[in-house]
């Protein structure tokens, strides 16, 4: 009889290298977290590319419709999101109003954006400026309507007009204490006879609507700023306004205390 009780049966030892190659739970979690962070980092880039593609597609559509229907209004088919790293002018405008303690004034704001941050910040900080914004974007105006329906307090001191700024007239505008023309020379076409005025006319109009000592703000980062610069210099040379300060990305000018160009 063979005595098996005196023999121990043992498993072959696992090599240390094999154990090190086998991923532990902690390593799996770390790897998963890194993959998730990498995916999150890519999301803004994906969103920006998708947004640009949609903008280009919409622009082609509007160009085609404009060719088929020449009388069709020229408008912006998309709404601009809040992207301070790309376009900080509205954020800097909010900071300017707060830091200069501008309250209870009449303000005209050219280009509201789909975020409507100027109006929302004016309400949230209790500045109570009477702000009239203008947009040529149906989605931006629709978002304003939805925001006011949900929170009527926004509309108390913030109104948004859907219109082409180049079709405004003197008789239809009140007097303002502060005007922003951040997007001057971005949308006009000198060859478009349907509009009442060009960019020079827009600048002259709002200079004439400023109260004595009123201020007008321009955005240096605008892609239309280079074209707007000769208009600004001409207005300064003609004594219609004078430079006050550079505030972050904005240039601030002021009309004389006695504004001879006021209409």
205 and 110, same structural domain? Answer: yes
Q: Is the dihedral of CA 48, 66, 146, 89 positive or negative?
A: positive
The 8-class DSSP code of residue 13 comes to P
123 and 177, same structural domain? Answer: yes
What's the total number of domains in the chain? Answer: 2
For 132, the token pair is 């009239």
**Per residue of the chain (263 residues), what is the pLDDT tens digit?**
445 444 454 554 554 444 444 556 555 545 654 554 555 455 566 666 775 676 566 667 666 766 777 777 777 777 888 989 889 999 999 999 999 999 999 999 999 999 999 999 999 999 999 999 999 999 999 999 999 999 999 999 999 999 999 999 999 999 999 999 999 998 866 657 778 999 999 999 999 999 999 999 999 999 899 999 999 999 999 999 999 999 999 999 999 997 666 66
Decide which of 44, 72, 100 is a domain's last residue: 72
In a domain, 216, yes or no: yes
Which pTM does this prediction carry?
A: 0.76
Spatial distance between the Cα atoms of 108 and 110, rounded to a whole number of angstroms: 7
219 and 172, same structural domain? Answer: yes
Predicted pLDDT at 194: 76
212 and 97, same structural domain? Answer: yes
Nearest to 93 by CA among 65, 125, 70: 125
Question: How many Cα neighbours within 13 Å face the side chain of 235?
Answer: 26
Predicted pLDDT at 69: 74
195 and 99, same structural domain? Answer: yes
Domain range for 164: 89-254
In a domain, 242, yes or no: yes
SS3 60: helix
Spatial distance between the Cα atoms of 87 and 151, rounded to a whole number of angstroms: 26
CB 78 within 8 A of CB 54: yes
213 and 107, same structural domain? Answer: yes
99 and 68, same structural domain? Answer: no
In a domain, 5, yes or no: no
In a domain, 6, yes or no: no
249 and 181, same structural domain? Answer: yes
Name the pairing type of β-strands 158-162 and 210-219.
Answer: unpaired
168 and 40, same structural domain? Answer: no
In a domain, 125, yes or no: yes
Predicted pLDDT at 4: 45
Residue 155: its H or E element: helix 154-157
112 and 45, same structural domain? Answer: no
| CATH number reported for the structural domain that contains residue 185 in this entry | 3.40.50.150
230 and 114, same structural domain? Answer: yes
In a domain, 239, yes or no: yes
In a domain, 133, yes or no: yes
Q: Is the dihedral of CA 144, 148, 151, 154 positive or negative?
A: positive
In a domain, 152, yes or no: yes
Name the pairing type of β-strands 250-254 and 242-247.
Answer: antiparallel
235 and 105, same structural domain? Answer: yes
């Amino acid at each position: 009889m063979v005595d098996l009780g005196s023999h121990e049966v043992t498993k072959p030892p696992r090599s240390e290298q094999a154990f090190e190659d086998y991923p532990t739970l902690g390593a799996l979690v770390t790897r998963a977290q890194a993959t998730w962070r990498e995916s999150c980092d890519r999301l803004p880039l994906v969103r920006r590319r998708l947004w640009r593609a949609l903008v280009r597609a919409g622009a082609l559509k509007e160009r085609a419709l404009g060719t088929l229907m020449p009388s069709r209004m020229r408008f912006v088919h998309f709404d601009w999101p809040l992207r301070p790293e790309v376009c900080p002018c509205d954020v800097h405008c909010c900071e300017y109003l707060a830091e200069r303690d501008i309250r209870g004034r009449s303000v005209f704001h050219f280009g509201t954006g789909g975020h409507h941050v100027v109006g929302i910040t004016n309400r949230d900080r209790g500045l109570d400026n009477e702000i009239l914004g203008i947009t040529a974007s149906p989605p931006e105006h629709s978002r304003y309507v939805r925001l006011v329906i949900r929170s009527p307090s926004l509309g108390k001191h913030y109104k948004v007009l859907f219109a082409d700024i180049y079709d405004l007239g003197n008789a239809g505008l009140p007097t303002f204490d502060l005007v922003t023309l951040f997007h001057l020379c971005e949308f006009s076409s000198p060859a478009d006879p349907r509009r009442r005025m060009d960019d020079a006319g827009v600048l002259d109009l709002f200079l004439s609507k400023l109260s004595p000592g009123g201020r007008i703000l321009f955005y240096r980062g605008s892609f239309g700023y280079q074209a707007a610069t000769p208009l600004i210099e001409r207005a300064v040379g003609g004594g219609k306004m004078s430079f006050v300060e550079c505030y972050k990305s904005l240039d601030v000018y002021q009309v004389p205390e006695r504004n001879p160009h006021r209409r």
